[in-house]
Structure formats: C-alpha cells, structure tokens
Chain A
Amino acid sequence: MGRKLLLKDINVPGIKSFEVYRKQGGYASVEKALKTMSPDAVVEEVKKSGLRGRGGAGFPTGMKWSFIDKKSEKPRYLICNADESEPGTFKDRFLMEYIPHALIEGMIVSSFALGAKTSYIYMRGEFRWIFPILEKAIEEARAAGFLGKNILGSGYDLELYVHSGAGAYICGEETAQIESLEGKRGNPRNKPPFPAIVGLYGCPTVVNNVESIAAVPHILNMGGDEYAKIGIGKSTGTKLISASGHINKPGVYEIELGLPVEEFLNSDEYCGGVWKGRKLKAVIPGGSSVPILPADLFLKNAKGEARLMSYESLADGGFASGSMLGSGGFIVMDETACIVRNLWTFARFYHHESCGQCSPCREGTGWMEKVLHRIEHGHGHMHDIDLLVDVAKKIEGNTICPLGDAAAWPVASAIRHFREEFEYHIKYPEKVMNPKHFEIEPFRSEKNLVMA
C-alpha cells in the first residue's frame, strides 16, 4: 500500500460533513498556520515540499506563490481552478464531491499564505451537483469560525466564493478563467503580463488546481521537508490519477509518485490490468492533451528502463519517445482500440473548444478534425497523413494559449507512433467502415503489441 494523504479518509462514513472531517483531524493546518506561522513561513514550507502544480503543467507551487506581487498596494486573489474538463481527467471532481472540506481547508491556508482576502473556486459548469456540496461546506466552515472576519481570532479575514462556469473547456486556462470570472467572454490573454502581476481585476492573482490546493494542509501538518520525502526525486508527494479505458478497475486512485507504471496498471490495488484478458496497445498517461505512448514505450523508456509514475520518468525521451504526467488522466487502450478513431474524437473536442481568438488554433483544429474524420471513415488520402503533421506543426507554439499545443501534440504523437494504422485506414477503406473495425479484426503491428 502506497502512502495516502488526500484520500486517506475517503471511506470514513460522513466525511463530507464538517463534523466528521474535523474529527478526523481536519482544519488542523488552519489552526497551525493562522496561530503560529507567518504567511511567508507558509510559502516557505510549500517551497520546501517540492509540490508541483497538479493542473497539468507541473510548475512548482511554492515558486509560483513567491512570484505574486506583494509590493503593490493592490488586493491579491487566489483562484482555485476547478474547471476540470480535460478528457480523461476526473480527479478534482471526485475530491470535491466526496471530501469537499479538503479543498476548503486548503483554500483557507493558501489564501492566508498569499494574503488574499477574497478567493474564488471556479467550477466547471457541468458540475452542477457539486455546487451545493461546496456551498454547504463553506457555510459549515464559516459557522465554525474558519471563514469570514477575524478567523480564529487571528485578525485574518477571508471570503470564499464558488463560481460556476458555463461549460467551456477553455475557461480552465488560467487567464481565460480570470476573464470569465470578471464577467467577460472566456478568451485567454496574451502573456506577459502574468497573473501574478496583473490578474483578476488587474490585481496580483494566483491560479491553482484543486488538487494542488488540497495538498497544502498536508504539507503544513507534516512539514515541507517531510512531504518532500514522499515520492521520488523532484516528483514529491502523492498524486491523484483518474484511470479510465480498457482496464478492470477504472476509478480515481491516489499514488505515491514514483510508483512503477506496470504496478499501477496491473496490480489489483489500482487498475487491475487490461480487461478481458486482452493485450495492451497504448496509454495516454496524463489526459487527452499529452502525447500517446505505444505499450512498449509506455512500460519502458527508449533506453529500456522501466517507467515510473513521475513527472520525469513519463517525460523521459522528450516528445520523440516520451509523454507527460499532465493532469493524471490515465487512459488505457487495448488491442481493439482504434488510434485514428480515438484521435478523431480528441480532435473533435479541441475543435469544439477552441475559443477562436487566434487563427492557427481556430482554423487548424477544425481542419485536423475534418481530415481525421475522413481518414477514419475511409475517405482519406496518403498525403493526408503528412498534411496532419504539417498542420499540427503550424499550430504548435504559435498560439496565444496552450490549447493550440494541446490539440497539436496528440496528432503529432499518434502519427509518430502509429503511422501504419493511419495507412491501413487509407488502404482498406472498406475494412474501417464499421466503427468497431478493430474489434472484429484487430490491427496487428508487431512493433507495438506487448503481452499483458
């Protein structure tokens, strides 16, 4: 059993309520921070912990906090990014739904560290049912004196609001989220300036993922140095992984970073192996935006070393033979999965979700989707494959926000590793007419298949 922090008490009956959460030791970090620590000391502990942002980019949280402009007289804001909409990622939802107080507690100590007097939780519009859960948790915390004026007699005031989005993936991008929170169309901003200097209402702002914020109380309780001992190398602590696809036990798991991928995939404590006794074909380890890896390169890196669930190990090999831990959306595909179809589905998503501000992403996402649709439905040409690679290349790095990259990377990696499968679709249009074509007749490429 790996170390559990965030989900340690998930099975305690009534953990949703303030009473039970408190009885399990909840809100201890608020008492510790507000009564015995300075805001800067809290930032220092988070720096020492080595915690890296759990929203996808993995940027060190303590460092991000230390960038916030404290010199200006302007108010500072903390926004919790609860817009979780990346296909394959559903860990924040799980946390907020089942242990809402973990997030509220994290918001209080993190806001204290940043000197924010007003903080927001920006929640994905589709999470309608979680809205009242968080509102209730906030009311309970307020009633117990953990929110509002003069919290625990420390003189620190904090108001916490939950804001519901309206159903746009792009509002998960931090600057689009800020625009949306300001009541505007959720278009990402050009950077610089960065939110730490000019954020919400033109004031210094930090945007952090739900899981990043929920990890802070644990860091304060055990101390940053102690937290840094969990995990491996620069991948410290525990991470929530939402596992889906062709596995026996899909769900949300908390792992200690550094767990071998093979153990995560096959052990009964976690995914329980590929379902139906089938072979593993490919894995997308960090949500739809990260490069797909064929089974062989997923289990072992290009040097033949076993991969671990960590930021570094999954990225080993760069984009040529590696991927990313991303947001922890772990998508598994067995031998009957069609890479082209899967890619088309993702392309459709990015086409639908592009905000349309910059021309490469606005036009390129739609173009890639249409070409992929054609290939998957047996109307592709051989030159379409290189066309896709070129369009992805023309988008990547040339857009305002990373959604363009997120749309381009999966295309580039799928073609890099599964080119034969694209060619097959073009050569045998009659065979791919049926959407379940690879269930009927699995596509075999000796290169990629690995015995489960």
Chain B
Amino acid sequence: MIKVTIDGINTEVPEGTTILQAARQIGGEIVPPAMCYYSTLKNSGGKCRACLVRVAAGSAKDPRPMPKLVPSCITMAQDGMVVENITNPQVLETRKGVVEFLLLNHPLDCPICDQAGECDLQNFAYEHGMAKTRYEEERRTFDPIDIGDKIKLHMNRCILCYRCTYVADQLTDNRVHGVINRGDHAEISTYIEKAVDNEFSGNMIDVCPVGALTDKTFRFKQRVWFTKPLDAHRDCPKCSGKVVLWTKGNDVLRVTARKDQYGEVKEFICNECRYDHKDMSHWTVEGPRHIDRGSVISQNHYEKVDLVKLKKDVERQLKFQEGKRLEQTNNSAE
C-alpha cells in the first residue's frame, strides 16, 4: 500500500492506482471530474483534460513538484505524493478553460437533447464553468446521422472522448467506426458503407458522456426525468442481464446498463437485453434504481413530483443555457 495526500486528505491505496481512483476512494468534492476516462475501458483517458490536477510533491523519494498539471486519470499515484485538486486555483482556472473549450462548438441544444438530465457535460459545465462564453464565432456543425439501425449520432454534441471506439474495440468483435479527420473537424464516423451492428454495440450509447450517441428506440419518447428507473434482471446467456428499466406506468421505454456514481458501467449488457425485451414481464424487478449522481434525474420523483426541486432543475437548465448565450455587449463599439 502507498500513502497519497489529496487536497490535504490522506489515503492509502494499492500500488498502481491512479490519482483519480485514489481520489474516488476518498470521495466527495475532491474527486476530479472525468469526461473521457472510463475505468472499465482499457486505454481510455488522458484526452479531455478535465481531470488535470497539480502534483505538489512527486513522491516521498523525489518530493519535487511536477512542472505541469497532470491528467489524474492516467497518472499513477506514488508513495508520499501530494496532490492538489480543488485547493489549487490554477487547477480550477484551467478546468474552467476546459469547460469553455468543450462548449465552444457545442450546440445550444439542451432543451431538445435526449441526454439532458443525464449528461456529464451539462453537469461538468454547471459545476466548473464560467458564467458566459467569450466565443463569438460560428459553431461548426454536422447533420445527425444513423450509424446503425438503433443508434443515432449527433456529431455536434460529441466531445471526442473516444469511449465509443474503445467499446467497439474491446466489447465487439469488429470495430466498424472511428474518428476521421483532424482537429475540430474530427468526427465519429462508420467506415464507408458500414453500419454499427453487433451484439454489444449498444454499450456505446451508455458510455457516451453526452447526447452524441443516443438510443433511437427511445429518442424523444420521454424526458428522462419523467421516467421511473427500476433495477431489474433476467437470465441472459450473453451478458449479466443486469439492467435499469426506464419505465412509465407499466411501459418499458428504455433499457440501459447500470451506471455507478461516476457514470460508469461495470457490467456491460448485450443488445438483446437492451432492445428486444421492452416488456415488464420479461424481467425480475429488484426495486427502484438509486441514482446518487449530482444530476437532474437524481432529484426526480419516484412517487410524487417534488415541485420545488423540479423548478430548481429547470432553472438550472435555463441558467446553463444563459451562460452559453453571447453577451450582447460584444458588438458594442470600442
């Protein structure tokens, strides 16, 4: 075991633990946000830079600080390492910058986006962003496309976290999509005339942190916070069969894998469970799903509508929208 200090809190973790995982072990406010890292997907992380932290002391052996901020999701903790996350103003300032960068070309779509309410970017922007954008150029846009008969791609919303490509590499036997082009024109695309069609491809939807990949069989049926999530399982020869049923009355509107408090799926599910059993009688219901993330659905109404909370959620959404709208004064004469 090695000793690490994060924002003044000491913890012990096994060797080979990343700073982010060590922070998650402590839990609470000091856990860095992660937009691209996904613990169950090998090689993920290191790209979005949301999780950058400062290492004030490298290790007990070599206590020098690291010259640059490091991505906590892929940087290994060392014995005696001292990490600053929310206690370091430079880290917070940089994080604000990352929010701004991620929203730069992001559409003002929340009100019509199927991800709203369970969107990592929305949460990230709300918690770490600045009040308004300074971007006054035109956003780059793409048209939404089908990348398989069950999955819709809204490239405008993609943050290029690469998670879906790792799902395709690691869970399916043949990746038929990837990133084409470079820079801010890079986009997710299927190979020429290929469609994503594989027994585990639906997991791409669950790992997508934003509303870029969505379930076509659920889209626009219902705002997520008006549905009731239930833990359920069935005997499935292909996967664990452990799912969340998103229901309204007795209707199963959507089936997803179960996400933990960091939005990560630990047990992926097959497409049969996801798409072909939208019938309550196919499932053994375990009980209501506890959603303890700081997202809009966590404040939802399993039994009765909590009007005060709902109002807050709406206000929060509006405030988020407002933040992304341009200041009119930008055009005033200098």
A363 touches B104 (CB 8 A): yes
Encode A169-186 as 1/0 by CB contact (under 8 A) with B: 010000000000000010
> CB distance B178 to A185 under 8 Å?
yes
Beta-carbon contacts of B90-104 to A below 8 Å, as 1s and 0s? Answer: 000010011011101
Q: 24 pairs across A/B with beta carbons < 8 Å?
A: A185-B178, A351-B183, A351-B184, A353-B182, A356-B160, A356-B181, A356-B184, A356-B186, A357-B47, A357-B162, A358-B47, A359-B47, A359-B102, A359-B159, A362-B101, A362-B160, A363-B102, A366-B183, A366-B184, A367-B101, A367-B104, A387-B134, A398-B68, A398-B69
Q: Is A342 an interface residue (CB 8 A)?
A: no
| Cα distance A354–B184 in the bound complex, in angstroms | 8
Query: Beta-carbon contacts of B25-49 to A below 8 Å, as 1s and 0s?
Result: 0000000000000000000001111
In the complex, whether B250 has a CB less than 8 A from a CB of chain A is no
Give the B-binding residues of A (Cβ under 8 A).
168, 170, 185, 190, 351-360, 362-367, 370-371, 374, 381-383, 387, 394, 397-400, 426
Judge whether A190 and B46 touch: CB under 8 Å.
Answer: yes
Chain A interface secondary structure, helix, strand, loop or mixed? helix
Say whether B94 contacts A398, CB under 8 Å: yes
A359 touches B48 (CB 8 A): yes
* In the assembled complex, B218 has its CB within 8 A of some CB on chain A: no
In the complex formed, the residue of B with least CB distance to A350 is B183
- For the complex, count residues of B whose C-beta is within 8 A of A: 35
Task: Give the shortest distance, in Å, between A403 (CB) and chain B (any CB).
Answer: 10
> Complex formed: what's the CA distance from A355 to B68 in Å?
21
Q: Produce 1/0 per residue, B171-198, CB < 8 A to A.
A: 0000000110111111000000000000
Q: Are B71 and A394 in contact (CB under 8 A)?
A: no
Asked if A363 and B330 make an inter-chain contact with CB atoms under 8 angstroms apart, the answer reads: no
A383 and B137 alpha carbons, distance in the complex (Å): 15
Q: Does B105 contact A (CB under 8 A)?
A: yes
- Interface membership of B74, Cβ < 8 A: yes
Whole-angstrom CA separation of A426 from B334 in the bound complex: 9
In angstroms, how far is the closest chain B Cβ from the Cβ of A15?
A: 38
- Most central of B102, B104, B183 by chain A CB within 10 Å: B183
Q: Answer whether residue B52 sits at the interface, using C-beta atoms and an 8 A cutoff.
A: yes
Decide yes or no whether B302 CB sits under 8 A from chain A: no
Task: Choose among A351, A366, A381 the residue that contacts B330 (Cβ–Cβ < 8 A).
Answer: A381
Nearest to A186 among chain B residues (CB) is: B182
Whole-angstrom distance between the alpha carbons of A170 and B181 in the complex? 12
Chain B residues contacting A370 (CB-CB under 8 Å) are 137
- How far apart sit A387 and B130, CA to CA, in the bound complex (Å)? 14
Q: Specify which of A353, A398, A399, A400 is in contact with B183 (CB 8 Å cutoff).
A: A353
Asked if residues B49 and A398 are in contact (CB atoms below 8 Å), the reply is yes
Is B179's CB under 8 angstroms from A360's CB?
Answer: no
Q: Can you name the residue of chain A whose Cβ is closest to the Cβ of B137?
A: A370
Beyond the given A358-B49, A365-B183, A366-B184, please list 14 additional residue pairs across the A-B interface where CB-CB is below 8 A: A190-B74, A351-B183, A353-B183, A355-B182, A356-B184, A356-B185, A357-B47, A358-B47, A359-B160, A367-B135, A381-B334, A394-B100, A397-B68, A399-B49
Rounded to whole angstroms, the CA-CA distance of A397 and B49 in the bound complex is 11
A362 to B103, CA, bound (A): 12
The residues of A that contact B47 with a CB separation of less than 8 Å are 357-359, 400
Chain B hits for A352, CB < 8 A: 182-183
Number of A-B contacts (CB under 8 A): 94
Which residues of B147-172 are within 8 A (CB) of A? Answer: 159-160, 162
Which one of B49, B50, B185 has the highest number of Cβ atoms from chain A below 10 Å of its Cβ?
A: B49
B182 in contact with A170 (CB, 8 Å): yes
A271 to chain B, nearest CB (A): 34
A360 engages B184 (CB within 8 Å) = no
The 5 lowest CB-CB distance pairs between A and B, nearest first, are A394-B97, A356-B186, A363-B101, A354-B183, A190-B46
Which residue of chain B is the closest to A366 with respect to CB atoms? B184
Which partner residue on chain B sits nearest A356 by CB separation?
B186
Please tell me which one of the listed residues B74, B97, B334 contacts residue A360 in the complex, with CB atoms under 8 A apart: B97
- Nearest-CB residue, chain A, relative to B183: A354
Contacts of B181 in A (CB 8 A): 356
Q: Is the CB of B182 within 8 A of A363?
A: no
Chain A residues with CB under 8 Å of B183's CB are 351-356, 362, 365-366
Kindly state the separation between the CA atoms of A356 and B104 in the bound complex, as whole angstroms.
Answer: 14
Chain A neighbourhood of B46, CB < 8 A? 190, 358, 400
Q: Are B182 and A383 in contact (CB under 8 A)?
A: no
Return the chain B residue nearest A397 by Cβ.
B68
Q: Are A359 and B49 in contact (CB under 8 A)?
A: yes
Closest to A185 in B: B179
Q: Which residues of A sit under 8 angstroms from B137, Cβ to Cβ?
A: 367, 370-371, 374
Q: Which of B92-133 contact A (CB under 8 A)?
A: 94, 97-98, 100-102, 104-105
Interface residues of B in 244-294 (CB under 8 A from A): none
Beyond A387-B134, A398-B68, whether A362 also contacts B334 by CB under 8 A is no
Residues from chain B with Cβ under 8 Å of A170 in the complex? 182
By beta carbon, the residue of chain A nearest B135 is: A367
In the bound complex, CA of A339 to CA of B74 (Å): 39
Nearest residue, chain A, Cβ from B161? A359
Contact at B49–A354, with CB atoms within 8 Å? no
The listed residue with most A CB atoms (<10 A of its CB), out of B50, B98, B101, B105, is B101
Report how far A400 CA is from B97 CA in the complex, Å.
16
- Contacting pair B98 A359 (CB below 8 A): yes
